[in-house]
Amino acid sequence: MTTTPIADAAALAGDPVRLRDALIARDPLAAADPSAIRVVQAPGRVNLIGEHTDYNEGFVLPVAIDLGIAVAMVPTADGRVELTLAETGETGAFEVGAVGERRGSWLDYVAGMAWALGEAGTGPRGFRGLLASDLPQAAGLSSSAAIEVVSAWALSGGERPPVDPMRLVHVVQRSENGYIGLNNGIMDQFASIFGEPRRALLLDCRSLEHRSVPLPLDEIALVACHSGSARRLEASAYNERRSQCEAAVAAIAGSQPRVRSLRDVTPAMLAAVRETLDPVVTRRAAHIVAENQRVLDAIAAFEAGDLGEVGRLFYASHASLRDLYEVSSPELDALVEIAMSTPGVIGARLTGAGFGGCTINLVRRDAVAALREAVLRDYPPRTGLTPRVFAVEASAGARRLA
Ligand code: GLA
């Protein structure tokens, strides 16, 4: 394979025929037997509400989106992965049985998946492939989960991985926690695996019960606004939030032995320990306790058709992430403020881990243009950054496209 970037690489992600042809043009093995080529895809996600609740055994409400990562590949029998990134033309390689140390590059997500699938006993296989993405990276739209999930398919011969889908969610988490070094929850890969067109996905991260929730998409659009500042997701800042939540649980469990996670904590229990708990830890816990309730309230409001209430919950969630969980940024706050003052915007909040990246906006269809205009006009002078505004569709989870 050569190392020239492929022109218009992002467009290949949404076009399995062109992606397949691009693999044939670069890879003699694929060219020799095009019938062996598979194209697999895994989407990114936006989370509607329920932020940082997943690793606290709480509720989340993500949506898989119509942007994602696709891989055209041919399975091989030699246990070796050779994968080219269409965007740069760079090829990375490793042996599935000996993935080695992290390299600090995109290939780690593929290697980490091979390691975790191996550990789970699914016998990952080698392949030669070409990867294309139309999902912005470091934007809080789960490009990590998308590359991991699509890799799980590619490492499984281009077919559905041979494990129960909820088990796969945990194998992906194992790869992220054990290989990449981020102690994240299960929301992102759950959404990428279980996504459904036109629906959001309610997941109880304790019981793992889940159901899909229809969205009133004739009336509203889902609009992501990218702050133009990369999500500065220091694994350390994220992992620190997680430890603070654990510290809150340990303190509360001292007098409430039935408490195992913040999922079990009520506002009254938190009020009872407020005087003795570290104020930062108290703020973190207060966010989680209220955020879990907001997810349930948002579902009820969606189901009652009360979009005004959904919007209030979105803003309350953002304010809580800004003031209590402290994972917002001046840029994300500016985007939310601009959206809030645009008529026809129902709700806006940061989505994903925070620390930069995107907001998600629920917008009346006839107001999408007005939001775009307001953001493009008002955001750059406030921040010195160039935003991106794009409507996303609620889409299916990972699958074979060809
Ligand atoms: C990241 C993590 C998820 C979740 C969100 C915050 O996206 O990967 O597990 O914790 O942050 O809700």
Segment 4-8 mean pLDDT: 85
For residue 57, the CA-to-ligand 1 centroid distance in Å is 12
Q: Which atom of ligand 1 is nearest to the CA of 47?
A: 12
Q: Which atom of ligand 1 is nearest to the CA of 145?
A: 8
**What does the block give as tokens for 370?**
């007005």
- Among 188-192, 225-229, 309-313, which stretch is predicted with the lowest mean pLDDT? 225-229
- Cβ–ligand 1 distance for 184 under 6 Å, the answer yes
Segment 297-323 mean pLDDT: 98
Whether the per-residue pLDDT at 224 is higher than 90: the answer is: yes
Question: Is the CA virtual torsion 181, 185, 189, 193 positive or negative?
Answer: positive
pTM: 0.97
Whether the per-residue pLDDT at 28 is higher than 90: the answer is: yes
Q: Which atom of ligand 1 is nearest to the CA of 52?
A: 12
For residue 344, the CA-to-ligand 1 centroid distance in Å is 28
- Among 47-56, 282-291, 350-359, which stretch is predicted with the lowest mean pLDDT? 350-359
For residue 390, the CA-to-ligand 1 centroid distance in Å is 21
* Mutation test residue for ligand 1: of 55, 172, 187, the one with most atoms within 8 Å of CB: 187
Phi, psi (degrees; rounded to nearest 5) at 143:
-65, -30
- Cβ–ligand 1 distance for 185 under 6 Å, the answer yes
pLDDT for 232 equals 63
Whether the per-residue pLDDT at 234 is higher than 70: the answer is: no
Kindly state the percentage of the chain with pLDDT values over 90. 93
pLDDT for 4 equals 83
Phi, psi (degrees; rounded to nearest 5) at 222:
-100, 120
Residues 6+ apart with CB under 8 A from 390: 223, 224, 226
Q: Residue 74: which of 36, 112, 28 has the closest Cα?
A: 36
Cα 133 from Cα 147, distance rounded (Å): 9
Cα 78 from Cα 255, distance rounded (Å): 57
For residue 79, the CA-to-ligand 1 centroid distance in Å is 32
CA within 13 Å, CB half, 34:
12
pLDDT for 208 equals 98
- Cβ–ligand 1 distance for 51 under 6 Å, the answer yes
Cα 345 from Cα 197, distance rounded (Å): 22
> Residues 278, 247: contact at Cβ < 8 Å?
yes
* Mutation test residue for ligand 1: of 184, 193, 239, the one with most atoms within 8 Å of CB: 184
Segment 298-316 mean pLDDT: 98
Q: Residue 227: which of 345, 334, 133 has the closest Cα?
A: 334
For residue 98, the CA-to-ligand 1 centroid distance in Å is 29
Whether the per-residue pLDDT at 233 is higher than 90: the answer is: no
For atom 8 of ligand 1, the residue with the nearest CA is 184
Whether the per-residue pLDDT at 386 is higher than 90: the answer is: yes
Cα 74 from Cα 68, distance rounded (Å): 20
Q: Which residues pair with 128 in a beta bridge?
A: 74, 82
Whether the per-residue pLDDT at 2 is higher than 60: the answer is: no
Kindly state the percentage of the chain with pLDDT values over 70. 98
For atom 1 of ligand 1, the residue with the nearest CA is 353
- Cβ–ligand 1 distance for 44 under 6 Å, the answer no
Pairing of β 388-392 and β 199-204: unpaired
CA within 13 Å, CB half, 179:
30
Q: Which residues pair with 41 in a beta bridge?
A: 70, 399
* Mutation test residue for ligand 1: of 47, 52, 201, the one with most atoms within 8 Å of CB: 52
For residue 288, the CA-to-ligand 1 centroid distance in Å is 13
If DSSP codes are grouped into helix, strand and coil, which group holds residue 375? Answer: helix
Mean pLDDT score of the chain: 96
39-60 CB burial, b ≥16 within 10 A, e <16: bbbbbbbbbbbbbbbbbbbbbb
Which H or E run includes 342? none
Q: Which atom of ligand 1 is nearest to the CA of 140?
A: 7
Q: Measured in whole angstroms, how far is the alpha carbon of residue 208 from the centre of its chain? A: 17
- Cβ–ligand 1 distance for 55 under 6 Å, the answer yes
Q: Which tens digits make up the pLDDT trace of 136-157?
A: 988 889 999 999 999 999 999 9
Q: Which tens digits make up the pLDDT trace of 158-214?
A: 999 999 999 999 999 999 999 999 899 999 999 999 999 999 999 999 999 999 999
Q: Which atom of ligand 1 is nearest to the CA of 238?
A: 11
pLDDT for 32 equals 97
Residues marked as catalytic: 188
Whether the per-residue pLDDT at 1 is higher than 60: the answer is: no
CA distances from 395 to 199, 206, 256 (A): 8, 25, 42
Phi, psi (degrees; rounded to nearest 5) at 262:
-65, -15
Segment 349-362 mean pLDDT: 95
Residue written as tokens 């659009």?
221
Q: What confidence tier does 8 reach under pLDDT thresholds 50, 70, 90?
A: confident
For residue 150, the CA-to-ligand 1 centroid distance in Å is 18
384: how many CB neighbours lie within 10 A of its CB?
A: 10
> Residues 49, 294: contact at Cβ < 8 Å?
yes
Identify residue 347 by its one-letter amino acid code.
Answer: G
Q: What confidence tier does 229 reach under pLDDT thresholds 50, 70, 90?
A: confident
Question: Is the CA virtual torsion 309, 268, 318, 211 positive or negative?
Answer: negative
